[in-house]
Structure 1
Amino acid sequence: MPKSQAPAAGGPPTETGRPIHSPQRRWVVLVVVAGSLFLAGIDLTVLHVAMPSVSRDLQPSAAQVLWIVDVYSLALAAMLVTCGTLGDRIGRRRMVLSGLLAFGLSSLACAFAANTAQLIAARAALGVSSAMIMASTVAIIRVTFTDNRERALAIGVWTSAHSVGATLGPLIGGLVSERWGWGAVFLVNVPVVAVLLAVGARVIPESKNPVPRRWDVLSVVLSVVGLAGVVYALKQAGEHAGINAVFLVSALVGTVLLYVFVRRQRTLAEPLLDFSLFSERRFSTATVCVIGCFGSYVALLFFLTQWLQQVGGYEPLQAGLALMPLAAANAVGAVAAPWLAGRWGNRAMLTAALLLFALAYAVIATVGDPGRYGTLLAALLAAGFGAGIVMTLGADVIMSAAQPERSGEAAAIQETSFELGAGLGVAVFGSVMTLVYGSVIPTVPGLGPDQQETVKESFTAAQELMAHLPSTTADAVLEAARHAYDRGFTTVATIATAGLVGTATLAAVMLRPRKGDAV
C-alpha cells in the first residue's frame, strides 16, 4: 500500500521534544516505527488464506466472516485521526508504546478466541491498536530526523514497511496456519511486539504538539457508530438476501449519524476531519481513486484466496504463493509510478492504470479458472501493476493538491482513505458474494429443507454438512457449492470492473489540467 505520506497527527513540525543526535539511535528509532507498521500491514491480510480453517473451527455466518476480515481495517480507519489528535495531547511516544502493548494483548485475544464474537471483538481491538501506532509514528520521525534528506529516506522506509507487510500477509498466513492452525498467525505478533516495546521504550523520544487541536469526543462517537451502522446494514443485506427491518434501521441510523458528523465538522473551529479540503477537485477525485482502487485490491486479495481454496482445492500455503505475483507486480507498479508520471503525467497514468486494473478484473471474471493458473497469472500481474501505480500517484495527487500548511490534515485523510477503502471493499463485495451464492446454488437431490438452507448459508456451512452425508450426496453438495461460489466471485469481479472503469472516467475528466494546475 504505497503512500507518499502518513497521518501527521498534528500539523506542522513545531513539536516539543529533544532531538536525537546519535545517528545510530535515530536509525534504531526508524527500525522500531517501521517494524510496527510492518506488523500492521501483515494483519490487514494475514487472515485471508486462513479464513477457511477459521470458518471450520468457529462456524461463523457469512456476515460474521466478513466482520472477522474487515473489522480490523474499519476500526483502524475510524480511529486514525482521533488517535493522532490524542497523541498530540498526551505525547506521541506514550501513544505508540501504548498501541504496541495493546496490539500484543489483542493478538493474544485473537489467537485464543473461543467463538466468533470473541474473534470479531479482538480484531476490532487490534485495529484500534494499529491506529494508535500509525497515527503518531510519522510525527516521531519528524522529531527524530532533523535533516531533510535523512527524513525523506526515513519516511520512504516507513511507508514501504506497511506495503511489504500487507504483501507478505497471505504468504505468512498460509505458512503458519497450515502448520500450526489459524490462531498461530496472531501469536507471531507477540514476540515481535515484545522486542519493539523493549527497544522503543529506550530510544523513542517523547514529543507533543505545543498547541494541540481539541479532541472532540462527540465527533469520534458519530463517525465510529455511523460507519458501523452502514457496514452492518451492508452485511445484513448480503446475509439475508435482500432488505429487511434490521437493514433499514441500521442503514438509516448509520447514514444520519454520518451526515450529522459531516455537518458538525463544518461548524467546528478545530474539526476532527476538515472536509473543506474536498472542495478542491483534484483532492476529492484522487481520494475517490484511492478508496476505489485499494478497496478493489484488498477485496481481490481476499476473494482470490477463498476462490483458490474452495473452488480450486488449493492448500493455504499454495494459495498464498499463488498471490505472490500480484503482490510483486504491485510493488513494481508503485516503484515505477513516479517515473511513468514524469513521462506521461499523473492524469494519464492514473486513468491508464485504473483501466488496466479493470481489464485484469474483467479477464478474471470471464476466463478466470483456478485450474488454469497460467491464464490467471497474466491477469494477476496486470492487476497488481495497475493498482500499485494508482495507490502511489493517488496519494501523491492528494498531497500536492492541498496547501503546504494543510499537509498534515491531507495526509490524515489520505491514510484514512486507504484503510476505509480496504474495509468497505470487503464489506460491499462480500455482501454481494453472499447474496449471489445463496440465490444461485441449485437444489441438491437427497437433501431435506433444513439441509438445503444450510448449504445456502455459505461454502463452509456446506462443507460442514458434507461430513454427515453419504458420499454421493456429499459430492453433489460440493459441486453445487463450488458452482455457486464461482458465480458469486464472477459477479464481484464484474461489478469491480465496472466500478474501476467509472473511476478511470472520473480521473480522466476531473483531473484535466486547468490554468495553474500541476496535474
Structure 2
Amino acid sequence: MTNGDAPANNPAEPDVISQRRKWMVLAVVSTSLLLCGIDLTVLHAAVPSMALDLHPSGVQLLWIVDIYSLTLASLLVTCGTLGDRIGRKRMVLSGFAVFGLASAAAAFSNTTPQLIATRVALGIGAAMIMASTVAIIRVVFTDARERATAIGIWTSAHSVGATLGPLLGGLITERWGWGAVFLVNVPIVLVILVVGARVVPESRNPAPRHWDMASVAMSITGLAGVVYALKQAGEHVGVDPLILAAAFGGALLLYLFVRRQRRLAEPLLDFSLFSDRRFSTATVCVIGCFGSYVALLFFLTQWFQQVGGFSPVRAGLALMPMAAANAVGATTAPWASARWGNRWALTGSLTLFAAAAAALALTGDTGHYGQLIPPLIAAGLGAGVVMTLGADSIMAAAQPERSGEAAAIQETSFELGAGLGVAILGTALTATYRTGLPDVAGLSAQQQSTAQESFASAEEVLKQLPSATAIRLTAAARHAYDQGFTTVAGAAAAVLVATAVLAAAMLRPRTARCEEEPAEAKATP
C-alpha cells in the first residue's frame, strides 16, 4: 500500500495491457477485498453454534472474533512496504495461499486456541492481499478516469463483503455447521490463484522504503499488549498486576514506536501526516464510526440469537435493514457533501448514528423487532455516509505525492477501528454480563462461576440442571446479556457523540471566508 504510486519495473508495461486484462485484474483484486470483508463479519452469526462446540471463555470469544482485524490492521503498512520490495504480485498471490490454507485449518479447528491461531493466520494472509492491491490498480489503470472507477469498485467490495458476512454465515451455519463458513473461501482462493497468476502484472518500487524490523516488532507487540489488557479487564474484578503490566508495556511500546517513526529518515508510518488537523480528525472519525458499526453488527447478531432466540439465518436477515441503509448512505454521501460540505455532513451523520445507538440502548427489545427497524436504518445510513466521507477526507487532506501513505493509513484505520471496537465494547459487555448475572438458586458455586464467564458457558451449565433451575438460569442469563448489550449500545452512542463534536470543531474551513470544498467521495473500504 505504501508507495502505491511507484511505477512498475518496466514503465511501459501498463501501456500494453489490454482493456480486457485490466478489468480481469480488477476482478481479481476486488474479489480479494470482498473475501477480506466477508471474513471480518462471517463468524458473527456462527458464534453461538461455535461456542457450544469449543466452549471459549468470554475473553477467548472476543479474541476469536477480532484477532483477525487486529492482525490485519497491524500488518497492513508492513506488508505494503515489503510488497514494494519483493513484488506486489508475489505478495498478493502469497497472501491468497496463506489465506486459503488458514481458511481450511480454521474450518477443522477443534479447540479454541487452534481457532484463534488460524484467525491470526487469516489476518496475515488478508494483510498481504490488501496491502498491495491498490498499488497494482495504480500500475494497471494509467488513465485517471478509469483508475478512479477501478478504485471505487475495489473499495466498495470490502463494504459489500462485511455487509454480506452475517447473512452468509447464518445460512451456511444453519445448513452445514460453523466450520463451513471458512471452507467457502477455499475454492474461491484456488480460482483467484490460477487467474491471478495469469493476468496480474508484476511490479515493484524501484527505490523501496527501508523495512524496519524494530518498528514492526514495536507496533505489533505494543498493540497486542494494550488489546490483551482491554480484553482481560472484563474478566477480572479488582486490580490484576498482569493486566496492568500488559497495558503499561503495550502503551510504552506504542509510544516508542511513534517516537522512532518521527526520527527515522524512512519511517514505516509517517506520522507527519497527522499534523494536519483535518487528516487526524477524519482518521479518528473513521476509527470511531467503523469500530462502533462492526461492534454493533457483532453484538446485535448475538443479541438476536441469545436473548431473542433467533436462528442464525433469521439473525442475519434481521440486520439487512441496517446493511441496506449503509449502502444507501455510502452512495448518497457525495450528495450530502455537495449539499452541506464534508464538515456538516460528517457531523450530522455521526449524530444520526449516535441517536440510533442510543435508541437501541434505551428501547431495544428483541420481542418487538418492528420497533428496531427505524434505529437500525438510521444507524446504517449514518455510518455509510461517515465511512465514505471520512475516507475521502483522509485522502483529500494528503498531498497527491503522498496518496499511497494516506491510503495505507486509511485502510489501517478501518481495520483497527473494527478490532478495537469489538475489543473495547466487548469488554464492557463481558463485565456487565459477569456482574449482572445474579446468584441463581440451585446452582453450585462452580456452576455459578462457570455461568458468569459467558452466555455460552451458561448454556453449557444448563445441560447439567433440572428443568426448574434451568429455566431460572436461562432467564437470568438472557437478562444479564440484555443489560450487556444496552451497555454496548450506550457506549457506542457516547463515542459517536464525541466524534461528532470533534468533527464539528476541527473540520472547519481553514479561513473564515473559505467555504468547504465538497470532496469527491470514495466508496467505503
TM norm. shorter chain > 0.5: yes
1:429 aligns with 2:425: yes
Give per-residue Cα distances to partners, 1:232-288, cap 9 Å, x unaligned: 000110112343111111101101110110000000001001111111110111110
Secondary structure of residue in 1 paired with 2:346 = helix
Contact 2:75 2:124 in 1 (8 A): yes
**What corresponds to 1:5 in structure 2?**
none
Secondary structure of residue in 2 paired with 1:182 = coil
Contact 1:55 1:460 in 2 (8 A): yes
Q: 1:151 aligns with which of 147, 151, 167?
A: 147
Query: Offset of 1:482 from its aligned partner?
Result: 0.3
Matches of 2:17 and 2:66, distance apart in 1: 41
Give per-residue Cα distances to partners, 1:15-50, cap 9 Å, x unaligned: 324224211111111111111111001000000010
Question: Which amino acid is the alignment partner of residue 305 of structure 2?
Answer: Q
Query: Offset of 1:518 from its aligned partner?
Result: 4.1
1:13 aligns with 2:6: yes
Query: Bigger CA drift: 11-20 or 401-410?
Result: 11-20
1:86 aligns with 2:82: yes
Q: 1:124 aligns with which of 115, 120, 124?
A: 120
1:104 aligns with 2:100: yes
Secondary structure of residue in 2 paired with 1:500 = helix
Q: 1:425 to 1:33 in 2, by over 3 A?
A: same
**What corresponds to 2:326 in structure 1?**
330
1:49 aligns with 2:42: no
Question: Which amino acid is the alignment partner of residue 157 of structure 2?
Answer: A
**What corresponds to 1:493 in structure 2?**
489
Question: Which amino acid is the alignment partner of residue 5 of structure 2?
Answer: P
Q: 1:414 to 1:59 in 2, by over 3 A?
A: same
Q: 1:356 aligns with which of 341, 344, 352?
A: 352
Matches of 2:454 and 2:489, distance apart in 1: 19
Contact 1:236 1:246 in 2 (8 A): no
Matches of 1:362 and 1:314, distance apart in 2: 23
Question: Which amino acid is the alignment partner of residue 477 of structure 1?
Answer: L
Query: Offset of 1:106 from its aligned partner?
Result: 0.5
Contact 1:92 1:137 in 2 (8 A): yes
Gaps of 5+ in 2: 518-525
Q: 1:478 to 1:54 in 2, by over 3 A?
A: same
Gaps of 5+ in 1: 1-7
**What corresponds to 1:370 in structure 2?**
366
Q: 2:502 aligns with which of 499, 503, 506?
A: 506
Q: 2:289 aligns with which of 279, 287, 293?
A: 293
Query: Offset of 1:495 from its aligned partner?
Result: 1.3
Sequence identity (%): 68
Give per-residue Cα distances to partners, 1:113-160, cap 9 Å, x unaligned: 120001001001101100100010111111111222211111111111
Query: Offset of 1:9 from its aligned partner?
Result: 2.8
Matches of 1:500 and 1:189, distance apart in 2: 34
Contact 2:5 2:135 in 1 (8 A): no
For 1:216-231, what aligned pairs fall within 5 Å after superposition?
216-231=212-227
Secondary structure of residue in 2 paired with 1:239 = coil
Give per-residue Cα distances to partners, 1:38-86, cap 9 Å, x unaligned: 1001000000010011110000110000000000000000000000000
For 1:252-331, what aligned pairs fall within 5 Å after superposition?
252-331=248-327
**What corresponds to 1:383 in structure 2?**
379
Give per-residue Cα distances to partners, 1:86-108, cap 9 Å, x unaligned: 00000000000000000000101
Query: Bigger CA drift: 267-276 or 243-252?
Result: 243-252
Matches of 2:68 and 2:362, distance apart in 1: 31
Secondary structure of residue in 2 paired with 1:486 = helix
Q: Normalising by the residue count of structure 2, what TM-score does the alignment of the two structures yield?
A: 0.96
Query: Offset of 1:327 from its aligned partner?
Result: 0.7
Question: Which amino acid is the alignment partner of residue 437 of structure 1?
Answer: Y
Contact 2:88 2:132 in 1 (8 A): yes
Contact 1:432 1:492 in 2 (8 A): yes
Matches of 2:162 and 2:107, distance apart in 1: 19
**What corresponds to 1:68 in structure 2?**
64
Contact 2:6 2:204 in 1 (8 A): no
1:32 aligns with 2:28: yes
Question: Which amino acid is the alignment partner of residue 204 of structure 2?
Answer: K
Query: Offset of 1:514 from its aligned partner?
Result: 2.2
Query: Offset of 1:490 from its aligned partner?
Result: 0.4
Question: Which amino acid is the alignment partner of residue 264 of structure 2?
Answer: L
Contact 2:5 2:138 in 1 (8 A): no
Query: Bigger CA drift: 16-25 or 180-189?
Result: 16-25
Secondary structure of residue in 2 paired with 1:207 = coil
For 1:189-228, what aligned pairs fall within 5 Å after superposition?
189-228=185-224
Query: Bigger CA drift: 438-447 or 224-233?
Result: 438-447
**What corresponds to 2:156 in structure 1?**
160
For 1:359-508, what aligned pairs fall within 5 Å after superposition?
359-508=355-504
Q: 1:80 to 1:517 in 2, by over 3 A?
A: farther
Moved over 6 A (4+): none
Matches of 1:196 and 1:312, distance apart in 2: 39
Contact 2:361 2:489 in 1 (8 A): yes
Contact 1:241 1:438 in 2 (8 A): no
Q: 1:517 to 1:67 in 2, by over 3 A?
A: farther
Question: Which amino acid is the alignment partner of residue 400 of structure 1?
Answer: A
Query: Offset of 1:517 from its aligned partner?
Result: 7.4
Q: 1:207 to 1:427 in 2, by over 3 A?
A: same
Question: Which amino acid is the alignment partner of residue 360 of structure 2?
Answer: I
Query: Bigger CA drift: 22-31 or 216-225?
Result: 22-31
**What corresponds to 1:113 in structure 2?**
109
Question: Which amino acid is the alignment partner of residue 3 of structure 2?
Answer: G
Aligned positions, number: 512
**What corresponds to 1:4 in structure 2?**
none
**What corresponds to 2:521 in structure 1?**
none
Q: 2:237 aligns with which of 212, 235, 241?
A: 241
Matches of 1:494 and 1:140, distance apart in 2: 41
Matches of 1:155 and 1:178, distance apart in 2: 35
Question: Which amino acid is the alignment partner of residue 484 of structure 1?
Answer: A
Secondary structure of residue in 2 paired with 1:345 = helix
Secondary structure of residue in 1 paired with 2:239 = coil
Contact 1:241 1:439 in 2 (8 A): no
